[in-house]
Amino acid sequence: MSAIAKEDIRLRKRIEAAQAYGSVSSPAPTGKASCGNAANPDRKKLATRLDADRMGNARTMMGLRQRVMAMSKEEILVSLDGKNGFRLNFEGLLISSLLSSGPDGAGKRLGSLPADQRADVIHGCDLRSLKDESQPAFAEIVRTHLWEKNQASAIAEYASLVASSRGYEKVAEYLDRVQATPAVRKQSVEHSAISRMIYKARETSVTRLDIDSMREWVQAQFPDSLARVTGKALEKLINGDGGMKYSEAAELALQYNRIAGNDEVLAIFLEEQQSVARRHPDEFRALAEQISDDKRRAKILENHK
């Protein structure tokens, strides 16, 4: 059993004990809670501390696990009352734990939450330990309990996680396993391709070979997404996510643009840029001047003045 799985079991028992405590009339415990007294924790102080934790230690899922294990039963109950960033992450962690032991509990838990909070909770799930055989259950929970407009992004987000840690071929297997619709598959492929490049860039430098490999996979999955994904990936690699030099990414955008035989790669590369364009105004304008579509070129230049 992995360390994450063991922590999930401990966490689930801790939360279940707190909920059982809150559902019956119990005498006040003799210990002291860290905010207020044990029977009635100071909600304002606790909320302030939880928010600080969310921005600090709880930024990682392991940090959140540790924070929950350190809380009193009363503090756990308070944290589950109302909508706040800590509570959404808290619920996501709980559902992640329930998914590892079976989908029924996870589905019931998510279904018990307000509909407008469920997508945020799924976003906060730690799905790194989700087994392949549990992927269809995860997708079914998403389809059952999330609004339709949020379903594709939730399935695609997990696909991005798979791509980053396990590679493109595992993404295709996941999408087959959950019987993704063409629209969901397309969004998942696009997100996964870019996420894989960002992940690799953080580990080591991204080469032309890496980008060609990404393009080959996207071409095999959704050819009409190739230009958009290429342009977006190159922009991400220069915008704080990969350390690629602007001149290097620009040259690759031009080369891929020529291969495509249209303006799409270069236009997407330029349209996605924000602050980075202001740091390279001359190079940006020189690239934009190579867009053959007058209206699109003018719009790109206007939007990045």
Burial label for 21, CB within 10 Å (0-12, 13-18, 19+), is middle
Whether residue 171 sits in one domain with residue 100? no
Whether residue 166 sits in one domain with residue 18? no
What are the tens digits of pLDDT across the range 257-295? 999 999 999 999 999 887 778 889 999 999 999 999 999
Q: Which of 174, 112, 183 is nearest to 138 (CA)?
A: 174
Answer whether 271's CB lies under 8 Å from 233's CB.
no
**Range of the structural domain that residue 197 is part of:** 152-305
Domain boundary among 146, 178, 204: 146
Whether residue 213 sits in one domain with residue 268? yes
Whether residue 133 sits in one domain with residue 212? no
Domain boundary among 89, 120, 146: 146
Beta strands in 41-157 (DSSP E): none
Scan for tokens 């019956």, then name that residue.
Answer: 24
Give the chain's domain count.
2
Scan for tokens 């619920």, then name that residue.
Answer: 91
Whether residue 117 sits in one domain with residue 156? no
d(CA 267, CA 203): 28
Q: Which of 192, 244, 280 is nearest to 270 (CA)?
A: 280
Answer whether 113's CB lies under 8 Å from 84's CB.
no
Whether residue 222 sits in one domain with residue 114? no
Answer whether 42's CB lies under 8 Å from 32's CB.
no
Q: What is the DSSP letter of 245?
A: -
Q: Which of 121, 130, 126 is nearest to 101 (CA)?
A: 130
* HEC profile of 33-50: CCCCCCCCCCHHHHHHHH
What are the tens digits of pLDDT across the range 35-61? 444 444 554 554 454 444 443 433 445
Other C-beta atoms lying within 10 Å of the C-beta of residue 121: 24
Residue 184 tokens, joined: 């969901």
Whether residue 225 sits in one domain with residue 128? no
Ranges of the chain with pLDDT below 50 = 24-40, 43, 46-47, 49-60
Whether residue 188 sits in one domain with residue 160? yes
Tell me what pLDDT residue 73 has: 63
